[in-house]
Structures are given as C-alpha cells and as structure tokens.
Amino acid sequence: MVEGLNRKGLMLGFGAYLIWGFFPLYFKALSSIPSAQVLAHRFVWSFLLLILILAQRKEWKTLGKHLRNKKTLAIYALAGSLLAINWGTYVWAVNAGFVLESSLGYFINPLVNVLLGVLFLRERLRWSQWLPVGIAAVGVAYLTIQYHTLPWIALTLAFSFGFYGLVKKVAPLSSLYGLTLETMVLFLPAVFYLTLQEVNGAGSFGHGSLWVNVLVLLSGVVTVIPLLMFGSAARLVPLWTMGLLQYIAPTCQFLLGVLIFHEPFTTARLIGFSIIWLALLIFSTERWWLRGTPQVVYK
C-alpha cells in the first residue's frame, strides 16, 4: 500500500474497473438479444434502480428541485445521449467480435481527454504531455494504414466517453443525481422502443431462457454499481491514482479478447497496440512523477 492512499477508496476504484474489465463476458452472454434492446434495457433498469436508491435515502425533494432547472436538464440530456452512444457502440462491438478494438478505445481515452481539455477547456500542456498524444496518434494512423480504415469503434468509444467526461466537468450535480437524470432522459424513449419491439413480435425479454432474462434484469445493477463505486473512489483517492487504475478495464478486455474469445491479434495489431502502449507508459509515468504538482496550466 502506498502511504497516504485511502484503502477503501483504492478498493472501490479497483473493483469498479475490474467489473468494467469483465463486461465482455456479461454482454457476450446476452448475444441472443439485439444490441439496441440491450442498450434500452440498461437505461430502463438503471433508472428504476436509481429511483429505488433515492427513495431509500428519502431524497425525492432534492431530485424534484433539479428537475425544474432547464439548464441542468439540458446538460444531463446531452450527457445521457453520449452515454447511449458509448454503451450502444460497446455492446454492439462486443457481440460483433470486436473486443480487442473496444479495449483499444479505452486505452486511448485518457489521451483523448487530454486533447479535449486543450481544445475546449483551454488547458496548456507541457511537451512531455504532448509527446504521448502524438505517439498515440501515430499508433492510430499505423492501424488505419494497415487495415485501410479508421479504427472507428475504438475512436467512437474514446471520444464519446471523452466528451461525456467533458460534459460532467460542467455538470452541477453529484454522481448519484447526475446518473439518475441521465438515465431518466432516455427512460421513456427506451420503454417506448422496447414496447414497440414487443408489439411487432421482435421483443426478446421474457422469450428466452431464464438465465438470459435474469441477466437482462441485472443490467441495471451491473451498470449502476460500478459507476457509484467509481464516484465514491474518485472522492477518496488522488486523481493520479484513478488515472493508473483506469488501465485495469481495457487490459482485462484485451486479455479476454485474445485468450477467451480468440480474436485475431496480428503482427500489425501488435505493432499498433505497442505504439499506443508506449504512449500510455510515457503519459502515466509523467503523471506519476509529477503527481504532487498541477498537471495542467490554465490560461
């Protein structure tokens, strides 16, 4: 244990990223259900679970106050839409056999966050922070040239989650209230979509095995719990620690893609991934070395 770190916060953060790391196993088990329906169920059951949590904590009045603020609702409507893009892309990618490319998206996400900070928050970086961003861009370009197409799944995941984090920087509420509003915004559209699928005879929930139906019902739990764990951990441990822990999830996903799902890991992919891993090594080392000093300078 590193001196000064909060043990509870460290375990919560580790647990959250570990759960996310094993998400491919969960969503592969739901491969018999169309990805769009899985996404809709995540929003429906997540919102209902969050409502139960708020009811248990008797915090209805506070939530109602935020519902009357149009600016707050607009912020969380945008955040919820970005979550839908991220979750939907991820579920589809896992079940279409692109676990490796999905892991690549979350490997480069920290560097995308840095780039978005420069573009939208007017952050200024040291040359040692620009270096890994440039190296990662070389890695993406190499993969693009080798496969004659952009790694669009990885980029969609990285940028959708990056913009989600950007929106959350200006969002006024705690993680619990914020996630409740984000899922609330898409709750009724999700219910409408699932109802329409059921009426058209294309609905999957309740028509498959008991195991699959249970997994669908648990989609809210597996979505909300790690997010709340992450939110608690972020308040208890330093930012640099969370920055290092975040590589647990894509590493687990990468190993699952290679060892369990046997996705092809060609020489070209090895080189491309290695370039991006080098960028992350430089990025993480720089953050760790300067963890006691500000990471960005604001104009």
- Tell me if 280 is assigned to some domain: yes
pLDDT band of 129, cuts 50, 70, 90 = confident
- Percent of the chain at pLDDT > 70 equals 93
Residue 144 near residue 151 (C-beta atoms within 8 A) = yes
The confidence score (pLDDT) of residue 243 equals 73
Q: Which two tokens stand for residue 64?
A: 């109602």
The confidence score (pLDDT) of residue 292 equals 43
Residue 296: pLDDT above 60? no
| pLDDT top residue among 176 and 92 | 92
Residue spans of alpha helices (H) in the chain: 7-21, 23-28, 35-56, 60-67, 70-95, 99-120, 127-147, 152-170, 175-185, 187-199, 210-217, 219-236, 239-245, 248-255, 267-289
The confidence score (pLDDT) of residue 291 equals 57
Tens digit of pLDDT for each residue in 198-245? 999 888 887 878 999 999 999 999 999 998 888 788 778 776 677 778
- Percent of the chain at pLDDT > 90 equals 59
Kindly list the distances between the CA atom of residue 253 and the CA atoms of 2, 25, 59, 163, 208, in Å, as whole numbers in the listed order: 26, 9, 36, 22, 27
pLDDT band of 159, cuts 50, 70, 90 = very high
The confidence score (pLDDT) of residue 240 equals 64
Q: 124: which strand partners?
A: 297
Domain count, the chain: 1
| pLDDT top residue among 59 and 85 | 85
Kindly list the distances between the CA atom of residue 154 and the CA atoms of 55, 85, 193, 254, 273, in Å, as whole numbers in the listed order: 38, 12, 27, 12, 12
Q: Any residues with CB less than 8 A from the CB of 260 and at least 6 apart, and which?
A: 25
Mean predicted confidence (pLDDT) in 76-84: 94
- Tell me if 2 is assigned to some domain: no
Q: Which domain holds residue 230?
A: 7-298
pTM score, whole prediction: 0.89
Residue 38: pLDDT above 60? yes
Least confident of 84-88, 174-178, 239-243: 239-243
- Tell me if 274 is assigned to some domain: yes
- Tell me if 1 is assigned to some domain: no
d(CA 29, CA 95): 9
Q: Of the candidates 24, 68, 2, which has an alpha carbon nearest to the alpha carbon of residue 262?
A: 24
Tens digit of pLDDT for each residue in 244-283? 788 999 999 999 999 999 999 999 999 999 999 999 998 8
